[in-house]
Structure 1
């Protein structure tokens, strides 16, 4: 593969960065316009707060989804340190940590999905969007990270902490 050919990960990172930048830009513009209208003209845009909240939630979970394959999430360094003292092979450590990630994703996804179902029948006060759009990014994030961890587990990839952090 030539250096000019982007990999799937870099394309994925660029797309997620673009989505997060779009969310942040729209949020900043909405809040700025609302502040100017409120303090300058005594009126405001009611939808600004609701839109900003929705975009912030989506931006956070898009970022969390993008951070996992890049190795930018917090690492279980204390668990790795504990297992190193017991002379557990690195492959077994990697499998255990990925199983814990998959379990955490399953729990988060299950809870988020329950909230999506509850939100299908209710709508936001000002904009009128289904409130299921608030927990939906948490569900999608849990699914994406869980699937990524499953693929890494099945490929038996050794754990890459992404840094040379000291074990606490």
Structure 2
């Protein structure tokens, strides 16, 4: 993520300086930044899942802390929905990857399959992690020791 952000920041900075200072820019800068941004977002989403850092509405689930059976049922339901959502995202991303294999970007000429590919990889990775948690019946970590967020 840091490498993507660093290259993006440098490319955009150089492009801005060239446009305002010299009246010309680097056309590849925008395309490269877009590609790196997409990869950075999905790498971050995948890294955030096992750490429990995704946005969550813990208030409702937090009310179930005193009832372990209800808390376990909620965890199972939520993880099942995560696996289902990841399956749908992966299926859609796969279709876009297949479509993108035959076309290339305008400036950098990379296969446009590289744009939906991180969504596919992220959905598969998060889906597998959620499935493992579902099978292990791992308890929810509501995080940060807070009762309600």
User: Same-fold call, TM > 0.5?
Assistant: yes
Task: Map 1:29-108; keep pairs closer than 5 Å.
Answer: 29-77=10-58, 79-80=60-61, 88-108=69-89
Bigger mean CA offset, 78-87 vs 68-77 = 78-87
Alignment of 1:7-46 (within 5 A): 20-46=1-27
Q: 1:117 aligns with which of 95, 98, 104?
A: 98
Moved more, 110-119 or 140-149: 110-119
Is contact 1:80-1:167 (8 Å) kept?
no
Tell me the alpha carbon deviations over residues 61-89 of structure 1, each in whole angstroms, 9 at most, x when there is no partner.
00000000001011243552676799853
Matched-pair contact (CA < 8 Å) for 2:100–2:112: yes
Partners of 1:76 and 1:100 in 2: CA distance: 15
Q: Compared with structure 1, are the counterparts of its residues 48 and 111 closer, same or farther at alpha carbon in structure 2 (3 Å cutoff)? A: same
Cα deviation code 1:7-35 (max 9, x no counterpart): xxxxxxxxxxxxx1100000011111111
Aligned position for 1:7: none
TM-score (normalised: structure 1)? 0.80
Partners of 1:64 and 1:158 lie apart in 2 by 21
Structure 2 unaligned blocks of 5 or more = none
In structure 1, list runs of 5 or more residues that go unmatched: 1-19
Q: CA deviation at 1:38?
A: 1.1
- Give 3-state SS (helix, strand or coil) of 1:69's partner: helix
Specify the alignment match of 2:119 in structure 1.
Answer: 138
Aligned length: 149
TM-score (norm 2): 0.90
